């Protein structure tokens, strides 16, 4: 979520304050947010304590424990992301659950922060390390950025000034040391850019925006020394206005893009927006998995070539999808275009939702679209099930901070009206127009929006919603409903808008250049991608044997089983497996097919019943 954006231009949207948005706790997003509040955040707190991240601070204080530094060099950021989650959660629910933790950590940060504002437990606590000596590696600005984001969240959520003061001192050091006349340091991992802009929004201090601007202007000059990784990995290969292909480490790429877009939002430099539009097309129109995952390669956790989209080796890091959502949000604010909200929804309800178990305490780091029978899943790299925690624990607290603030991404509003982007039950309060949304979405396609006040109500109609209909009472339909655009209604107080989206299951194909899914379709219902899991197949049939009939159009819905409101029943065949890895091609080859019907579940629910084979893309017979 973003603070108020200073510069306003036509087409731009204004974020709502956190308190102006409420999700219905019975809604999909609302229930997930409650699970986050009751399970995930505390799980992060427990694991951050367990893995020594807070001890990394304590050991640097007088009388602190005599223990070694633990975790990766960017471990501080896991703490900061958890603090950020707590900050948003306080703002949302007013919880006092973590007061003691906050107090202790504020004490620790104040003690450990150096006089010049420097604060990094890895560098400060490791003999031989010097501040900013190896910015390509040490993530110091990255960690500082997460500190700033945490401080902004805590300040907005609880009015806390202690974290904000620490964060401002860190930011002031960046302004002083790396300002226009200072050392041109950039970080190997973009992140500080959005944080500095947010800190500017929160404090009104323009120097932070300028520091963010310098960060993005300095990137792409190949100043980060290539070592184990090359310039592309860090997005340091081309200036941001020329780097229009999504390349390198996916999370870095997407955080950087969010930062560039944030600088655009506050500076109005259209050359930045132009470049980000092109970059977005590269990322979302040639390199994105159908679940909204980003990053095709395990090696270097990076983007691949265009259309290199392997379902089995999809890296699709959870953090990359979160970063993608953050970037799309900023592009949405900048342009008001529905495509950006559409992709927020895709990644949120599929790739990101899949990352978290039904318990809220186990997580995927990588989110593949296929797991084979016989998968060797003993490593953190490609586990067969969600893990409680990771040695590199960036993803779980990232989920926590996103979910604690997810209500803020649902709507925007200004003096003329209100815009609904994420379709969810809840209440959204704008300065002129407020709305209560009643819906069982994403399971149900009916949305009833009741307006309070008056103004223009915009409701995003998903691009897949061919045949959407609308009934307006007490208002005037201005536009739509057109798939992929906003339905617009001029509302009087008490007006109701009943939008009905067709929820018939659909089959989706990929561009033929996506070789890895040639001859396959994926099954969708509303915004949800479905998958087939081994657990749902008849005995003796493996996921790899399934083939859908080419004309498969009838898909039955299976009633709520208490876990999944809507499962789908597909018909096809089980094909006898081949016996030779390579064999002569015979166009008249007979296959041995046995008719079979089988259940598909939402992709985000997979691997909650033990390990097993799974696939999103199903071959046609």
Q: How many residues does this entry show for the chain?
A: 621
- By three-state DSSP, how is residue 79 classified? helix
- Cβ atoms of 345 and 527 closer than 8 Å: yes
Q: Which two tokens stand for residue 460?
A: 């995003």
Catalytic residue among 140, 301, 317, 342: 301
Closest CA to 262 of 183, 148, 365: 148
Q: Which of 218, 372, 498, 569 binds a copy of itself (CB under 8 A)?
A: 372
Contact 175, 207 (CB under 8 A): yes
Q: Is the Cβ of residue 131 or residue 484 nearer to a copy of itself in the bound state?
A: 484
| Identified catalytic residue from 328, 394, 491, 520 | 394
Please select the residue that binds a copy of itself; options are 12, 70, 222, 297, rule is CB under 8 A.
Answer: 297
Q: Which of 414, 342, 339 is nearest to 17 (CA)?
A: 414
Least Å distance, CB 56 to a copy of itself, is 21
Q: Which two tokens stand for residue 128?
A: 């031989």
Min dist CB 306 to a copy of itself, Å, is 5
Instruction: Please list, in sequence order, all residues whose beta carbon lies within 8 angstroms of the beta carbon of residue 204, skipping any fewer than 6 positions away.
Output: none
Rounded Cα–Cα distance for residues 436 and 427 (Å): 4
Stretch binding a copy of itself (CB under 8 A), from 8-16, 109-117, 290-298, 327-335: 290-298
List 4, 96, 182, 519, residue binding a copy of itself (CB under 8 A): 519
Minimum CB distance to a copy of itself, residue 479 (Å)? 23
Q: Give the integer Cα–Cα distance in Å for 386 and 353.
A: 12
The residue among 318 and 370 lying less far from a copy of itself, judged by its C-beta, is: 370
* Relative orientation angle of helices 99-112 and 75-93, to the nearest 10 degrees: 140
Name the β-bridge partners of 531.
601
The residue from 10, 65, 127, 577 that contacts a copy of itself (CB under 8 A) is 577
Q: How many CB atoms lie within 10 A of CB 583?
A: 9
Q: How many residues bind a copy of itself (CB under 8 A)?
A: 63
Stretch that binds a copy of itself, among 128-136, 304-312, 406-414, 433-441 (CB under 8 A): 304-312
Region of 600 on the Ramachandran plot (φ > 0 left; ψ -120 to 50 alpha; else beta): beta
140 given a catalytic annotation: no
Q: How far is it, in rounded angstroms, from Cα 495 to Cα 46?
A: 47
Query: Least CB distance from residue 566 to a copy of itself, whole Å?
Result: 20
44 included as an active-site residue: no
580-619 footprint of a copy of itself as x/- string (CB under 8 A):
xxxxxx-x-----------------------------x-x
**Which position among 550, 561, 563, 594 is part of the footprint of a copy of itself (CB under 8 A)?**
550
Q: Does 521 bind a copy of itself (CB under 8 A)?
A: yes
Q: Compute, in degrees rounded to 10, the torsion defined by CA atoms 195, 201, 202, 204.
A: 120
Which range in 81-89, 185-193, 214-222, 520-528 contacts a copy of itself by CB under 8 A?
A: 520-528
Give the Cβ contact number of residue 196 at 10 Å: 31
CA-closest candidate to residue 260, choices 239, 229, 282: 239
- Tokens in use for 600? 């598909």
Q: Determine, following the binding rule CB under 8 A, whether residue 130 of this chain makes contact with a copy of itself.
A: no
- The closest of 475, 452, 459, 457 to 424, measured between CA atoms, is 459
Which residue from 70, 107, 134, 40 is spatially nearest to 397, judged by alpha carbons? 40
Would you tell me the crossing angle of helices 162-178 and 99-112 to the nearest 10 degrees?
Answer: 30
Cα Rg of the chain, angstroms? 24
Closest to 576 in 3D by CA, of 540, 608, 607 = 540
391 lies in the site for a copy of itself, by CB under 8 A? no
Residues 310-339 touching a copy of itself, rule: CB under 8 A, are 310-313
Nearer to a copy of itself, 145 or 612 (CB): 612
476 vs 511 by CB, closer to a copy of itself: 511
Indicate the residue among 44 and 290 with the shorter CB distance to a copy of itself.
Answer: 290
Binding mask 230-269 for a copy of itself (x = CB under 8 A): x-x------------x-x----------------------
The total of other beta-carbon atoms located within 10 Å of residue 98's CB is: 19
Report the candidate in 245, 72, 87 with the shortest Cα–Cα distance to residue 164.
87
The site string for a copy of itself over 481-510 (x = CB under 8 A, - otherwise) reads -------------------------xxxxx
Does 228 sit near a copy of itself (CB under 8 A)?
A: no
| Beta carbon nearer to a copy of itself, 90 or 247 | 247
Rounded to a whole number of angstroms, the minimum distance from the CB of residue 343 to a copy of itself is 11
Q: Which stretch binds a copy of itself (CB under 8 A): 202-210, 254-262, 264-272, 299-307?
A: 299-307
Residues in region 464-483 near a copy of itself by CB under 8 A: 464
Record the tokens describing residue 621, joined without a space: 């017979």
Residues 6+ apart with CB under 8 A from 511: 307
The CA-atom distances, in angstroms, between 566 and each of 523, 546, 558, 560, 561 are 13, 21, 6, 6, 8
Minimum CB separation of residue 523 from a copy of itself in Å reads: 10
Q: What string marks each residue from 395 to 414 as x (binds a copy of itself by CB under 8 A) or -?
A: --------------------
Among 22, 241, 298, 498, binds a copy of itself (CB under 8 A): 298
Report how far residue 163's alpha carbon sits from residue 145's, in angstroms, rounded to the nearest whole number: 13
Say whether residue 540 binds a copy of itself (CB under 8 A). Answer: no
Question: Residue 134 class from Cβ within 10 Å (0-12 exposed, 13-18 middle, 19+ buried)?
Answer: middle
Question: Is there binding between residue 390 and a copy of itself (CB under 8 A)?
Answer: no
- Binder of a copy of itself out of 114, 270, 511, 556 (CB under 8 A): 511
Cβ atoms 86, 41 nearer than 8 A:
yes
- Residues 140/123, Cβ–Cβ less than 8 Å: yes
47 or 302: CB nearest a copy of itself:
302
Name which position in 285, 471, 494, 554 contacts a copy of itself (CB under 8 A). Answer: 285
Least CB distance from residue 605 to a copy of itself, whole Å? Answer: 21
Binding site for a copy of itself (CB under 8 A): 230, 232, 245, 247, 284-286, 288, 290, 297-299, 304-308, 310-313, 370, 372, 374-376, 378-379, 381, 464, 506-522, 544, 550-551, 575, 577-585, 587, 617, 619
* Residues recognised as catalytic: 301, 394
């Amino acid at each position: 979520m973003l603070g108020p954006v200073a510069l306003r231009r036509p087409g731009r949207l204004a974020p709502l304050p956190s308190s102006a948005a409420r999700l219905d706790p019975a809604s999909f997003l609302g229930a997930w947010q409650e699970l986050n509040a009751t399970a995930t955040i505390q799980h992060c707190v427990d694991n951050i304590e367990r893995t020594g991240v807070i001890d990394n601070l304590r050991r640097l204080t007088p009388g602190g424990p005599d223990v070694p530094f633990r975790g990766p060099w960017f471990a501080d950021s896991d703490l900061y992301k958890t603090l950020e989650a707590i900050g948003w959660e306080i703002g949302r629910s007013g919880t006092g659950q973590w007061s003691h933790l906050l107090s202790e950590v504020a004490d620790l940060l104040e003690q450990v922060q150096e006089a010049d504002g420097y604060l990094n437990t890895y560098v400060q606590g490791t003999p031989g390390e010097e501040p900013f000596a190896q910015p390509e590696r040490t993530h110091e600005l990255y960690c500082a950025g997460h500190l700033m984001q945490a401080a902004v969240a805590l300040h907005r959520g609880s009015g806390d000034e202690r974290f904000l003061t620490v964060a401002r001192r860190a930011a002031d050091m960046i302004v002083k040391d790396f300002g226009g006349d200072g050392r041109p340091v950039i970080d190997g991992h973009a992140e500080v850019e959005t944080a500095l802009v947010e800190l500017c929004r929160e404090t009104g201090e323009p120097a932070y925006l300028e520091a963010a601007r310098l960060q993005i202007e300095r990137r792409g000059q190949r100043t980060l020394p290539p070592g184990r990784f090359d310039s592309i990995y860090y997005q340091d290969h081309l200036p941001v206005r020329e780097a229009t292909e999504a390349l390198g480490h996916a999370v870095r790429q997407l955080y950087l893009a969010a930062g560039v877009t944030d600088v655009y939002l506050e500076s109005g430099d259209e050359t930045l927006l132009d470049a980000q539009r092109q970059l977005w097309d590269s990322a979302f129109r040639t390199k994105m998995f159908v679940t909204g995952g980003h990053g095709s390669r395990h090696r270097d956790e990076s983007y691949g070539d265009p259309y290199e989209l392997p379902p089995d080796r999809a890296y699709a890091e959870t953090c990359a999808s979160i970063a993608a959502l953050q970037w799309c949000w900023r592009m949405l604010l900048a342009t008001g275009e529905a495509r950006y909200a559409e992709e927020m929804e895709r990644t949120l309800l599929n790739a990101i939702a899949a990352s978290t178990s039904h318990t809220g305490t186990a997580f995927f780091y990588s989110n593949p679209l296929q797991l084979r029978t016989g998968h060797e899943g003993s490593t953190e790299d490609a586990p067969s099930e969600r893990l409680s925690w990771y040695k590199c624990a960036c993803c779980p607290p990232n989920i926590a901070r996103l979910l604690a603030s997810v209500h803020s991404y649902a709507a925007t509003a200004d003096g003329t009206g209100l815009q609904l982007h994420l379709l969810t039950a809840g209440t959204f309060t704008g300065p002129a127009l407020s709305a209560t949304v009643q819906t069982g979405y994403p399971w149900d396609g009916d949305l009833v929006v009741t307006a309070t006040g008056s103004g223009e109500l915009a409701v995003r109609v998903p691009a897949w919603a061919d045949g959407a209909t609308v009934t307006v009472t007490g208002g005037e339909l201005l536009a739509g409903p057109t798939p992929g655009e906003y339905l617009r209604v001029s509302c009087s107080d008490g007006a109701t808008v009943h939008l009905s989206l067709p929820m018939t299951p659909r089959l989706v194909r990929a561009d033929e250049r996506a070789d890895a899914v040639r001859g396959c379709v994926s099954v969708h219902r509303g915004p949800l991608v479905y998958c087939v899991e081994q657990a749902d197949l008849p005995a003796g049939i493996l996921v790899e044997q399934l083939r859908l009939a080419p004309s498969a159009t009838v898909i039955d819905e299976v009633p709520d089983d208490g876990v999944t409101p809507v499962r789908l029943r597909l018909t096809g065949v089980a094909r006898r497996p081949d016996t030779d890895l390579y064999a002569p091609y015979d166009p008249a080859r007979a296959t041995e097919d046995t008719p079979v019907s089988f259940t598909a579940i939402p992709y985000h629910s997979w691997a909650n019943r033990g390990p097993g084979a799974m696939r999103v893309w199903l071959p046609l017979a």
